[in-house]
Amino acid sequence: MNPRPARSITVRPRPIMVEPGRGADPCSTCGARGNSVCDAIGDEDLERLATVAIVTDVEPGKTFIHEGDSADNFFNITSGTAKLYKLLPDGRRQITGFARAGVFLGLAVSSTYAFSAEAIDRVRFCRFPRPKLQALLEDFPAMEKRLLETASNELVAAQEQMLLLGRKTARERVASFLIAQGLLSLPCRHAHDEIALPMSRGDIADYLGLTIETVSRTFTRLKNEQLIAIPTATAVSVLDRAGLLSLAEGYESDN
């Protein structure tokens, strides 16, 4: 059941606006552009994009999207990692995803956000006021096409997560999580197959529909079975990727 007792009260962040409107436009130097919907806009129109985007930093632990609030802005993460989550009244929490650089947030069609978002490490994002983004989409239909693409991708990921939450065992969930995280950090692989885990055990638990204790126990069990190694609490290296993968996909019916 896992009802959390009195989660710490979330203070609305006072975000730091970066280079408020002057200096070189931030979009042309944005490292996240390649992965994001913004790459639908050509170099020649980047200035237009930059006039709409409000670059903002938030500190770790700060919540910058509040479920139920009026959805006045869209967000595009450019660095750092945020967790997206929904709460039940007694404090039970489900993390629906982790948003890294390039992820676009705020596609709530209704007038309010359907989830909350909290920075895990230091997060920088571009904020787009809704009417201004609407106008932008009118002028750049290619961007709308990209938005549809990313929404479709997220939908596929969400279905995969439903399979995990509804039908997989704790071991399979953790294995799936590690495989997925490993795929994400493939481009920036430092050393062998070491995976950085910026989120806490509690976050992983709330993402996988488990408790902290079960996540921890499962990690040590996978370690004892030589499938992974755990150099530090915030990193995991995969020793037997094939074994982990077949676990994640639901073979190895034995527990």
Binding site for DNA (CB under 7 A): 1-3, 169-171, 200-202, 209-217, 219-220, 230, 233-234, 255
Burial 64-88 (b: 16+ CB within 10 A, else e): bbebeeebebbbbbbbbbbbbbebe
Candidate residues 10, 28, 51, 153; the one interacting with a second copy per rule CB under 8 A = 153
The reply to whether 186 sits near a second copy by the rule CB under 8 A is no
Q: Are 78 and 30 in contact (CB under 8 A)?
A: yes
CB 14 → a second copy: shortest distance, Å?
27
Which residue, 98 or 113, has its beta carbon nearer to DNA? 98
CB of 40 to DNA, least distance (A): 37
CA gap 159, 198 in Å, rounded: 24
Quote the CA–CA distance of 206 and 213 in Å, as a whole number.
12
184 binds a second copy, rule: CB under 8 A: no
Q: Which of 47, 139, 213, 249 binds a second copy (CB under 8 A)?
A: 249
Residues 43 and 28: beta-carbon distance below 8 Å:
yes
Q: What does 212 bind: DNA, a second copy, none (CB cut-off 5 to 8 Å by kind)?
A: DNA
Q: State the nearest-atom distance from the C-beta of 63 to DNA, in Å.
A: 15
Closest Cα to residue 79, out of 42, 41, 35?
35
Which of these ranges, 55-63, 121-129, 222-230, 247-255, lies near a second copy under the rule CB under 8 A? 247-255
Q: What's the token pair of residue 133? A: 């983004």
Cα–Cα distance measured from residue 83 to residue 32, given in angstroms and rounded to the nearest whole number: 18
Nearest to 88 by CA among 116, 107, 118, 110: 116
Neighbours of 154 (CB within 10 A): 15
2 belongs to the binding site for a second copy (CB under 8 A): yes
Figure out which of the listed residues 17, 155, 183, 186 binds a second copy, where binding follows CB under 8 A. 155
Q: How far apart are CA 152 and CA 109, in angstroms?
A: 15
- The site that binds a second copy (CB under 8 A) totals a number of residues, namely 48
What is the contact surface with a second copy in residues (CB under 8 A)? Answer: 1-3, 84, 86, 88-90, 92-94, 96, 107-110, 114-115, 141, 144-145, 147-149, 151-156, 158-163, 165-169, 206, 208-209, 249-251, 253
